């Protein structure tokens, strides 16, 4: 049923048109009748008719002025203008204003009905075209989001996809939001889609209102995504802006549509290419909706930190776990996790929920850090591991999942390094034995020689030899000092200088701690 409004200052014409035409019989509903342009606009704003029949010559506001105002209010509205022969000069102006058509007075009822049917047919065709465009747009957006969740797209690919929705991202920061309608049990799918479209439209309006650059993309079923692009702000400032936006989303949807949504956010990044990672993190965060609650907005960082610091403190394994993985020691990884599992089963200090959150945090960080320590590691086989962990019911199951992914990554790092890590320590020890006499020999100097960081080399010493760099250097210097005392008559300060000590007193103190004898006492043992 198409809504029709009549506006004419001639009372007889108004009454005649409204009463003579069988509106319902022809598929129309007469929603209002006005005597001038101002009254007509009030009717139009209240009822938003599909078709307006209006005289051109009217007091206060004529038909042409009203047509212009109608098109500004709703460009889709069809306006049929009525004009006397002497006013035919206005026809050209009517065409410029995109009036649907004009009829000469006196108007034949049959002619007007025919024009109304033509206008309604054009409305139908426009609606079909619009629906087709919307369906195509929705399909393209859904496919883009699928690719984004499964693959790492390049900058160029992301820019091309975003251009389809009319967006050219600018600024220094990006972040992805994932939104789920909390009410999904609609009687018909069309009802859900209608509500979803209203929610998305409100989100777009809020972005415009808050002057936040971004786009709203349609995902499947009761979900959609929002991509936000920040100006030249600090990361924390951009994150606060996002909090303001999501807060406005939640309150507006609840107040205006009487329903609620849940919003999750991935990490904020400074590279457009990281939109893939941020979107996947937002998807992962949504898996915790049943723990966090509905009608909430939260980020992946909040999920990772929630209870996890307490659990990490109790378990005391996180630092060692990442160290063993970085060094490529799968056996140590397995041993560490197994000991933690046994301790938890005995002491029962951590709840299942806390352990789930901790496990997801570890896995999420592993996937993130793997891009730095093992770029070619095939993490795709673990893409759904967080989802599986959330659904697990026992500690054994959770630790089993943790072992699979951590050992796989540690094995990969081990293969990547080959036997390099073992040769690195040996090479470092050889360098120390050849240069122990250098007074300022340090861990940094040796690490630079074997082309690794000092922290990495320090870890290798601890894991492989069970001692630290200082112990190796001290032992090397003391053994050489003992040999010099036994085979020569060099004085203490001369031996100290030859083994790398510029301070003889410090050398003597170190020597006694190592051997149990002072240099003088040791020389008497010869």
At 110-126, the pLDDT tens digits run 888 898 899 988 888 87
What pLDDT digit, counting tens, does each position of 252-292 carry?
999 999 999 999 999 998 888 888 889 989 988 887 776 67
The pLDDT, as a whole number, for residue 261 is: 94
Please state at what angle helix 308-315 crosses helix 352-373, rounded to 10 degrees: 80
Percentage of the chain lying above the pLDDT 90 cut: 23
Residue whose C-alpha is closest to residue 351's, from 404, 303, 403, 310: 310
The pLDDT, as a whole number, for residue 224 is: 93
β partners of residue 52: 5, 79
Is 443's pLDDT higher than 70?
Answer: yes
Residues 34, 60: Cα–Cα separation, whole Å: 12
Phi, psi of 129 (to 5 degrees): -65, -45
The pLDDT, as a whole number, for residue 284 is: 83
Task: Tell me which residue has tokens 């993985």.
Answer: 325
Greatest pairwise CA separation for the chain in angstroms: 136
Confidence of residue 477 (pLDDT cuts 50, 70, 90): very high
Residue 283 or 164, more confident: 283
Is 420's pLDDT higher than 90?
Answer: no
What pLDDT digit, counting tens, does each position of 179-201 carry?
999 886 666 666 788 899 899 99
Instruction: Please answer whether residues 364 and 284 qualify as being in contact, where contact means their C-beta atoms are separated by less than 8 angstroms.
Output: yes
Instruction: Please answer whether residues 58 and 8 qualify as being in contact, where contact means their C-beta atoms are separated by less than 8 angstroms.
Output: yes
Instruction: Please answer whether residues 202 and 257 qualify as being in contact, where contact means their C-beta atoms are separated by less than 8 angstroms.
Output: yes
Residue whose C-alpha is closest to residue 80's, from 48, 106, 103, 60: 103
The pLDDT, as a whole number, for residue 160 is: 82
β partners of residue 213: 229
* Average pLDDT estimate for 423-452: 86
Looking at 3-90, list the stretches that DSSP marks H as alpha helix, in order from N- to C-terminal side: 11-20, 37-47, 63-73
* Average pLDDT estimate for 140-158: 79
The pLDDT, as a whole number, for residue 481 is: 93
What mean pLDDT, rounded, does the chain reach? Answer: 83
Question: Token pair for residue 248?
Answer: 């406005």
Confidence of residue 498 (pLDDT cuts 50, 70, 90): very high
Residues 452, 250: Cα–Cα separation, whole Å: 49
């Amino acid at each position: 049923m198409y809504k029709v409004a009549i506006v004419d200052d001639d009372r007889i014409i108004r009454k005649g048109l409204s009463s003579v035409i069988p509106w319902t019989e022809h598929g129309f509903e007469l929603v209002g009748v006005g005597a001038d342009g101002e009254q007509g606009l009030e009717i139009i704003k209240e009822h938003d008719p599909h078709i307006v029949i209006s005289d051109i010559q009217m007091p206060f506001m004529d038909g042409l002025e009203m047509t212009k105002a109608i098109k500004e209010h709703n460009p889709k509205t069809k306006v049929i203008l009525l004009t006397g022969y002497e006013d035919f000069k206005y026809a050209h102006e009517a065409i410029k204003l995109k009036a649907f058509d004009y009829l000469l007075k006196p108007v034949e009822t049959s002619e007007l009905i025919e024009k109304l049917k033509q206008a309604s047919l054009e409305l139908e065709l426009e609606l079909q075209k619009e629906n087709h465009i919307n369906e195509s747009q929705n399909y393209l957006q859904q496919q883009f989001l699928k690719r984004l969740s499964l693959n790492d797209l390049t900058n160029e690919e992301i820019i091309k996809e975003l251009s389809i929705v009319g967006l050219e991202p600018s600024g220094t920061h990006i972040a992805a939001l994932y939104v789920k309608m909390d009410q999904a049990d609609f009687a018909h799918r069309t009802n859900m889609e209608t509500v979803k479209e209203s929610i998305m439209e409100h989100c777009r309006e809020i972005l415009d209102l808050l002057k936040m650059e971004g786009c709203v993309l349609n995902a499947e079923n009761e979900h959609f995504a929002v991509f936000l692009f920040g100006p030249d702000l600090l990361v924390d400032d951009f994150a606060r802006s996002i909090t303001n936006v999501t807060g406005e989303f939640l309150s507006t949807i609840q107040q205006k549509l009487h329903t609620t949504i849940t919003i999750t956010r991935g990490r904020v990044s400074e590279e457009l290419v990281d939109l893939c990672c941020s979107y996947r993190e937002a998807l992962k965060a949504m898996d915790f909706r049943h723990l966090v609650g509905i009608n909430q907005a939260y980020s992946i960082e909040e999920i990772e930190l929630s209870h996890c610091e307490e659990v990490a403190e109790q378990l005391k394994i996180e630092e060692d776990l990442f160290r063993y993985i970085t060094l490529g020691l799968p056996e140590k990884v397995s041993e560490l996790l197994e000991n933690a599992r046994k301790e938890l089963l005995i002491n029962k200090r951590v709840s299942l929920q806390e352990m789930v959150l901790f496990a997801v945090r570890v896995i999420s960080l592993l996937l993130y850090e793997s891009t730095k320590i093992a770029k070619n590691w095939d993490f795709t086989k673990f893409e759904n591991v967080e989802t599986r962990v959330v659904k697990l019911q026992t500690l054994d199951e959770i630790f089993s999942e943790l072992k699979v992914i951590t050992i796989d990554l540690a094995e990969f790092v081990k293969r990547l390094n080959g036997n390099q890590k073992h040769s690195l320590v040996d090479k470092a020890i050889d360098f120390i034995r050849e240069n122990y006499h250098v007074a300022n020999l340090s861990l940094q100097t040796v690490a630079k020689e074997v082309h690794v960081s000092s922290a990495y080399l320090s870890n290798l010493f601890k894991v492989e030899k069970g001692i630290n760099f200082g112990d190796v250097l001290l032992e090397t210097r003391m053994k050489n000092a003992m040999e010099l005392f036994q085979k020569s008559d060099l004085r203490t300060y001369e031996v100290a200088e030859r083994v790398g000590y510029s301070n003889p007193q410090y050398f003597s103190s170190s020597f006694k701690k190592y051997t149990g004898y002072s240099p003088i006492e040791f020389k008497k043992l010869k």
